[in-house]
A and B are shown apart, each in its own frame.
Chain A
């Protein structure tokens, strides 16, 4: 719980642009990484980061200051990511029906990074994508290491114990999928 975030939101509501810049500086990396992990498209994640912070600015009046800004912020980003994934699914369906080929966006773009390491991370992303939706979302938040179980529960709208179970099951399933990808029977 951060009352400092609440103070920044309050200052922004009162017209202090620096307060909004401070919120952006504090959370842009978290939001960008969450969006990038969720939609697996760095360029679109940039757009979603922009949309999320614009929505935060426009919705700042509706925010109830009870120390949950991070969860509120990621909730906004999550909805935008889910909409984006839904639109992509629609585009892919239309492309399949009309026979147009759609090239899948690269998982993450970082050409200078070590190839083997990159392949391993892509393999993990592919395995992550195979988890059931709720498990995948919970494991994504777990990977970001910044949110408490209570905050993840607020974003996902489920009890804390469910979050814990989802993360445990997701981590185990991910390990099994990676072992299978390596040709080791689980």
Chain B
């Protein structure tokens, strides 16, 4: 036999929006209807998941990064002169683990056991790196031209 129970009443039942009498009627229906019991269980399950998804904690580092970028863009924050590892990674648009890989090439210093960067020193380093890359490109192009028969 097909169940004729209105699924909306299960939602109201779950939300506690039924009168005592109507809730008792649904409870009694549920006792004899496996398909409504399954739907109610699934509703509870999806409500739990939705609540968890809606409540997930956003990654703090990402949010701080965004806040800083927005405030800088709007001119309501000043660039820091001394950067932490996370700041430096963000400054160079790298992930933290990528920064760790090239750390020894970068101009960092140690302060109270922590690694710090001077913003200007990082900028100088970026300029030098740009020049190196340009020279490498030039040299590669030159070699290619020399190899190509006239």
Contact = CB atoms under 8 A, between A and B. Distances in A.
Interface residues of B, number: 34
Given A32-B58, A143-B54, A127 B46 contact: yes
Interface string B34-52: 0100110011011101111
A32 B56 CA distance: 10
A57 B73 CA distance: 10
A125 B53 contact: yes
B54 A33 contact: yes
A155 to B, nearest CB: 15
Contact of B76 (A21, A108, A142): A21
Interface string A171-186: 1101110110010101
Given A21-B71, A168-B8, A49 B54 contact: no
Interface stretch (B25-33, B62-70, B96-104, B137-145): B62-70
Interface of B: 7-8, 11, 35, 38-39, 42-43, 45-47, 49-59, 62-63, 65-67, 69-71, 73-74, 76-77
Given A17-B77, A28-B67, A29-B63, 19 more contacts: A17-B71, A20-B74, A21-B67, A28-B63, A32-B62, A33-B58, A37-B54, A49-B63, A108-B56, A117-B52, A120-B45, A121-B53, A124-B50, A143-B53, A175-B43, A175-B45, A178-B49, A179-B39, A182-B42
